[in-house]
C-alpha cells in the first residue's frame, strides 16, 4: 500500500497575517509581481468587456490583449501572430503534440524520459490510443544522447518534443541542434520552455523550433495562463475547439486580466535577465557550494555547466527528502523534492530515476530554485538551518553508517536490502 503523505501543520491560521516565508521553490511557481497586479486590476474592475464584442467597450479590451500579445511575442522574438494564449503550459504542450499528429497523420512521437508530467502522461495517454511514443533516456548528468535522438527519428515520426530546461535539475538541452536535425528530416519540433523566461534569453528564430510553450505563473504572472508559439505557416489543428478566439486557434473567451498580467510580466523578466544571471546565480552558487562542502555525503544532481542559473538539486544520503522538507517548512522555508505536479506521490522523482540515481538517493534529493526576490539573508537563513536538520535526521537514520547503534549490524547489507525493498515496492506498483 502507498504510504500516505505526512500532513503539514499550517504555521499561521490567518491568511492576512502570514509569517515570513523563505521561498526557494520558484520552479514550482513565482510570486505575482506588484507591477503585474497593478497592470491587471483595471481589467477586473473597469475594463471587463468581452474582447470579441464589436462595440467600443469590448474593442478597447481587445486592443489591450493585442498589446500584451506583442509583449509576450517580444520575450521570445516571435511575431505576435505566432502567439496563441492558452490556459497553461500543460495545455500548450498537449496542443503542440496533438496538432502535429493530427495534421501529419503520422503516429510516432519522440520525447524524453525527463519531461514534465504534461508530456509524460500525455505520451502515456497517446500510447493507450495506439500511437507509438519514444521516451528517450538520459545520461547520469541529465543530458541527452543526441546521436540516439537522431537515430530514433523515423519516417512516421510526427514530432520531437524536448524541454528546453528541466524543472527539477535545471539541466538545459541543446534545442537548436535538435531542431536542426528535425528540419533535416522534415519532422516538427516542439520545446517546452516553461522554466526558461527570465533565466536564459529566448529567441524562437535562433532556436529554429516550430512550437514553444510558456506558462505565465513561472514568470511572476498569475496561474492559469499560458502561451503556445506556432511558427508562421506551420499547419495547426486546435485542441480546444469552440469560438473564433485566438484567430480560430483556441476556442474560449480570453482570460483577459491574466493575459494583461502575462504581457507585463514578459517585460519585467526581460528587464531582470541580467539580475538572474549575476546576482541570483551567485546566490544559487553560494548555497550549493556551501552545502556540498560542509554537509558530508551530499551530491549535486545533474551537470553543473549547462543549467538554469537559479536551480540546484542535491541528494542528501541517509535521509528522506520529505522529512527534510517538513522540518524546513516548520521554519518557513519552502523547497521541494520534485515537480509540484507530482507532489503527493512518495515515488522517487522520474527525472532522477531516469538519470540512474538509486531510489534511496532519489528519495533523499531536494530542489532549491531561487528567483529575483531572493536575498543574501534568505540564503544565510537556509544555510543556518539546513545542516542541523540533515544532522538531526541522520542521527536517527538506521541507514547512516555513523549512527551509534549501527556497529551492531551490517549497515551495507541493510542499505542494499532497503534499496531492494524500494525497487520492489515500485515495480509492484507499476
- Contact between 371 and ligand PLP per CB under 6 A: no
Residue 339 binds ligand PLP, judged by CB under 6 A: yes
Distance of CA 71 to CAs 164, 228, 256, 269, Å? 21, 14, 14, 11
Nearer CB in complex with ligand PLP: 226/359: 226
Residue 138 binds ligand PLP (CB under 6 A): no
Tell me how far, at minimum, the Cβ of 331 lies from ligand PLP, in Å. 24
3-class DSSP string for 79-95: CHHHEEEECCHHHHHHH
The one among 30, 134, 195, 313 contacting ligand PLP by CB under 6 A: 195
Q: Rounded to the nearest whole angstrom, what is the least distance from the CB of residue 217 to ligand PLP in the complex?
A: 6
CB of residue 105 to ligand PLP, shortest distance in Å: 27
Asked if 123 is part of the footprint of ligand PLP (rule: CB under 6 A), the reply reads no
Residues in Cβ contact with 274 at an 8 Å cutoff, skipping those fewer than 6 apart: none
Q: Mark the segment that binds ligand PLP (CB under 6 A) among 247-255, 319-327, 337-345, 373-381.
A: 337-345
Nearer to ligand PLP, 102 or 341 (CB): 341
Segment contacting ligand PLP by CB under 6 A, of 86-94, 289-297, 308-316, 421-429: 86-94
Q: Is position 89 an interface residue for ligand PLP (rule: CB under 6 A)?
A: yes
Active site residue 189: no
Rank residues 208 and 226 by Cβ distance to ligand PLP and give the closer one: 226
Binding of residue 351 to ligand PLP (CB under 6 A): no
Q: Answer yes or no whether residue 194 interacts with ligand PLP by CB under 6 A.
A: yes
Residue 418 and residue 102: Cα distance in Å, rounded? 46
Query: Is 112 a binder of ligand PLP (CB under 6 A)?
Result: no
x/- contact string, 221-240, with ligand PLP (CB under 6 A)?
-----x--------------
User: How far apart (Å, rounded) are the C-alpha atoms in residues 317 and 141?
Assistant: 18
Shortest separation between residue 45's beta carbon and ligand PLP, angstroms:
26
Which listed residue (182, 189, 334, 341) is catalytic?
Answer: 341
What is the nearest approach in angstroms of ligand PLP to the Cβ of residue 89? 3
Q: What distance in Å separates the CA atoms of residue 219 and residue 199, rounded to the nearest whole number?
A: 10
Residue 379 touches ligand PLP, criterion: CB under 6 A: no
Backbone phi, then psi, for 109, in 5-degree steps? -125, 140
Told to check if 167 binds ligand PLP by CB under 6 A, we report yes
Q: Among 230, 243, 235, which residue's Cα sits nearest to residue 204?
A: 230
Closest to 194 in 3D by CA, of 174, 177, 170: 170
Q: What is the DSSP letter of 142?
A: S
Q: Which is nearer to ligand PLP, 99 or 339 (CB)?
A: 339
Strand order in the sheet with 365-369: 298-300, 311-316, 365-369
d(CA 249, CA 303): 38
Give me the phi and psi of 92, to 5 degrees please: -60, -45
* Nearest residue relative to ligand PLP (C-beta): 89
Percentages helix, strand, coil for the chain, rounded to the nearest 5?
Answer: 45, 15, 40
Q: How far is the CB of 223 from ligand PLP (least distance, A)?
A: 7
In which element (H, E) is residue 301 found? none
Rounded distance, CA 293 to CA 163, Å?
31
Identified binder of ligand PLP from the candidate list 36, 61, 72, 118, rule CB under 6 A: 118
State the sign of the Cα–Cα–Cα–Cα dihedral 417, 419, 420, 426. positive
Cell of 36: 503585474
Instruction: List, by residue number, the catalytic residues.
Output: 341
Give the binding site for ligand PLP (CB under 6 A): 88-90, 116, 118, 163, 167, 192, 194-195, 215, 226, 339-341
Amino acid at each position: 500500500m502507498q504510504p500516505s503523505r505526512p500532513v503539514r501543520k499550517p504555521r499561521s491560521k490567518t491568511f492576512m497575517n502570514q509569517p515570513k516565508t523563505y521561498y526557494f521553490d520558484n520552479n514550482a511557481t513565482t510570486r505575482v509581481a506588484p507591477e503585474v497586479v497593478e497592470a491587471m486590476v483595471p481589467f477586473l474592475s473597469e475594463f471587463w468587456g468581452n474582447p470579441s464584442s464589436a462595440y467600443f467597450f469590448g474593442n478597447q479590451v481587445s486592443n489591450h490583449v493585442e498589446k500584451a500579445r506583442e509583449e509576450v511575442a517580444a520575450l521570445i522574438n516571435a511575431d505576435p501572430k505566432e502567439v496563441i494564449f492558452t490556459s497553461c503550459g500543460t495545455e500548450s504542450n498537449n496542443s503542440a503534440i496533438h496538432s502535429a499528429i493530427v495534421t501529419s497523420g503520422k503516429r510516432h512521437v519522440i520525447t524524453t524520459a525527463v519531461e514534465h508530467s504534461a508530456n509524460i502522461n500525455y505520451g502515456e495517454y497517446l500510447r493507450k490510443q495506439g500511437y507509438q511514443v519514444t521516451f528517450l533516456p538520459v545520461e547520469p548528468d541529465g543530458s541527452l544522447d543526441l546521436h540516439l535522438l537522431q537515430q530514433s527519428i523515423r519516417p512516421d515520426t510526427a514530432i520531437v518534443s524536448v524541454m528546453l530546461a528541466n524543472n527539477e535539475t535545471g539541466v538545459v538541452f541543446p534545442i537548436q541542434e535538435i531542431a536542426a536535425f528535425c528540419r533535416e528530416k522534415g519532422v516538427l519540433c516542439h520545446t517546452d520552455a516553461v522554466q526558461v523566461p527570465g533565466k536564459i534569453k529566448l529567441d524562437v528564430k535562433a532556436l529554429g523550433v516550430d512550437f514553444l510553450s510558456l506558462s505565465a505563473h513561472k514568470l511572476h504572472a498569475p496561474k492559469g495562463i499560458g502561451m503556445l508559439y506556432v511558427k508562421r505557416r506551420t499547419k495547426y489543428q486546435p485542441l480546444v475547439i469552440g469560438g473564433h478566439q485566438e484567430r480560430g486557434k483556441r476556442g474560449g473567451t480570453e482570460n483577459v486580466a491574466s493575459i494583461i498580467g502575462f504581457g507585463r510580466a514578459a517585460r519585467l523578466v526581460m528587464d531582470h535577465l541580467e539580475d538572474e544571471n549575476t546576482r541570483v546565480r551567485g546566490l544559487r552558487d553560494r548555497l550549493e557550494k556551501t552545502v556540498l562542502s560542509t554537509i558530508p555525503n551530499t551530491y549535486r544532481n545533474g551537470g553543473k555547466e549547462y543549467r538554469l542559473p537559479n536551480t540546484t538539486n542535491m541528494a542528501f544520503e541517509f535521509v528522506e527528502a520529505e522529512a527534510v522538507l517538513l522540518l524546513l517548512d516548520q521554519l518557513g522555508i519552502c523547497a521541494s523534492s520534485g515537480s509540484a505536479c507530482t507532489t503527493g506521490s512518495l515515488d522517487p522523482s522520474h527525472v532522477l530515476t531516469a538519470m540512474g540515481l538509486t531510489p534511496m538517493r532519489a528519495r533523499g534529493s531536494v530542489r532549491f530554485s531561487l528567483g529575483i526576490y531572493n536575498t543574501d539573508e534568505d540564503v544565510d537563513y537556509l544555510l543556518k538551518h539546513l545542516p542541523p536538520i540533515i544532522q538531526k535526521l541522520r542521527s536517527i537514520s538506521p541507514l547512516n553508517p555513523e549512527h551509534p547503534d549501527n556497529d551492531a549490524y551490517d549497515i551495507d547489507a541493510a542499505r542494499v536490502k532497503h534499496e531492494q525493498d524500494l525497487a520492489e515496492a515500485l515495480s509492484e506498483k507499476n
